[in-house]
Amino acid sequence: MKDYTTLKEGCLTPAALQDVPGFCRRFGLEGIEVFMDDVKNRTEVLFAAETEKEALVDRLAAGSVKRIHCSYWAYPTSFLTKHSFSQLEERFGGLAAVREYYGDLTGAHMYARWCQEYELATALGAQSYTFHLIDYAPIDGMWDFTISKADIRQAMISMLQHFLNELLDRGLIGPDSPQIELENAGWGLEHGMQTAEDYAMLYRQIYDPFHKVKLGWDINHLLHALGADAGSGSARFYLPDSEITPEMNRLQTEYGHDPSLFAVKWLEHNILHPDLAGKVGSIHLSDCGLKDTQYFTNGIFTGEYYQNISALKTWEEREEYGVGIVLSKYDNHLVLGTGALEPVYVKAMIGALAVHSPECVILHELKNSTDLEQDLRRQLDCIA
């Protein structure tokens, strides 16, 4: 499998950042993935003229950028489909705040920005465009979800089809354009598209004439769903009962006594699902420790954590508190072998994935690393 890594400023020393191609050669990488909101703020038009696009292409190519990660916004279901739009307006504190955050009241800016990002990826000759639709609150943990997961899942399929239709209508997608990888959105603090069964449903519905839609399985996000009770040491799904399927119950009963094995069996159930053979474009490789506390239920903080965030006086304080727990307990993207996973199990799974989906690549997603060179070397050694 070919290797790539995500790259955010601050992950590399200034000297290494100036020579990303050299960094890629040292680690045997095909290139890097960048987050488009880091390249240019998502509130803006990406480029207004062909010369601006060409300048962006030259800048990214010089930095060995081979994968583009889309810009993304919170609450896409409520905003783009207008499901419970009145509630969205209330939670943002007024229509003006909604308009400011999304760029308009229709979704035109979001789709136009995504189309420009995909157009840029095509001009760059990128290996993939990572498309990420999730549903979470701007202040994580302050509000629960009143839209069912079933409705959100169907909405996300509709929103993806709308994006594909926009690309088709603008003539931006074709046999030679990049694949579109759908990154699974994590449970535990947010609803979204997460399981193999969700994606099998998606593939039954979408119109994708050039067969560009693939899956980008983010291991860290899959592990959001799991926790290990401090007393017994047994692992289980930290999810509402309504979201736990019979197959998930089976996995929990059979492997819950061994948290590390349970974690990898949950990964295998999704990543190697037979209905998705040939559909996996990448595996986003990182680790995540199993929580001993269920911080969120249906999107809202539990117990003392909700009391703590409710007691804070300013939006900035609440955001800092909520995001701090998310980044430390859920979306932490640890080096493989430093969380729930045994590298030997993951290495075997990657070997099986190479047969299951032969064109799959590995994306080392260590986006929260403060020393990417050290952490990437450790992770590469784990799967060597």
Domain ranges of the chain: 2-383
| Separation between Cα atoms, residue 51 and residue 255, nearest integer Å | 56
What kind of architecture, by CATH, is found in domain 2-383? Alpha-Beta Barrel (3.20)
pLDDT for res 12: 72
Residue 176, Cβ neighbours under 10 Å: how many? 8
Return the closest-CA partner of residue 144 out of 250, 297, 300, 335. 300
Beta bridge partners of 217: 283
Q: Supply angle C-alpha 341, 345, 349, rounded to 5.
A: 115
Per the confidence metrics, is the pTM higher than 0.85?
yes
Burial of 51 (0-12, 13-18, 19+ CB in 10 A): exposed
| Separation between Cα atoms, residue 190 and residue 137, nearest integer Å | 8
pLDDT for res 190: 73
pLDDT for res 241: 86
SS3 track for the chain: CCEEEECCCCCCCHHHHHCHHHHHHHHCCCEEEEEHHHHCCCCCCCCCCHHHHHHHHHHHHHCCEEEEECCCCCCHHHHHHCCCHHHHHHHHCCHHHHHHHHCCCCCHHHHHHHHHHHHHHHHHCCCEEEECCEECCCCCECCCCCCCHHHHHHHHHHHHHHHHHHHHHHCCCCCCCCEEEEECCCCCCCEECCCHHHHHHHHHHCCCCCCCEEEEEEHHHHHCCEEECCCCCCEEECCCHHHCCHHHHHHHHHHCCCHHHHHHHHHHHHHCCHHHCCCEEEEEECECCCECCCCEECCEECHHHHHHHHHCCCHHHHHHHHHHHHHHHHCCCECCCCCCCCHHHHHHHHHHHHHHCCCCEEEECCCCCCCHHHHHHHHHHHCC
Question: What angle in degrees, to the nearest 10, is found between the helix axes of 259-271 and 343-356?
Answer: 10
pLDDT for res 187: 67
As given in the structure block, the two tokens for residue 217 are 């399985």
As given in the structure block, the two tokens for residue 151 are 């409705």
| Separation between Cα atoms, residue 332 and residue 366, nearest integer Å | 8
Burial of 154 (0-12, 13-18, 19+ CB in 10 A): middle
Q: What is the pLDDT along the chain (384 residues), one digit of tens a residue?
A: 999 999 987 777 777 778 999 999 999 999 999 999 999 999 999 999 999 999 999 999 999 999 999 999 989 999 999 999 999 999 899 999 999 999 999 999 999 999 999 999 999 999 999 999 888 777 778 888 889 889 999 999 999 999 999 999 999 999 999 999 999 986 666 778 889 999 999 999 999 999 999 999 999 999 999 999 888 889 999 988 888 999 999 999 999 999 999 999 999 999 999 999 999 999 999 999 999 999 988 888 999 999 999 999 998 999 899 999 999 999 999 999 999 999 999 999 999 999 999 999 999 999 989 899 999 999 999 999
Cα 50 versus chain centre, distance: 30
User: Hey, CA dihedral for 29, 211, 163, 203, is it positive or negative?
Assistant: negative
Burial of 211 (0-12, 13-18, 19+ CB in 10 A): exposed
As given in the structure block, the two tokens for residue 356 are 């299951």
| Separation between Cα atoms, residue 157 and residue 193, nearest integer Å | 9
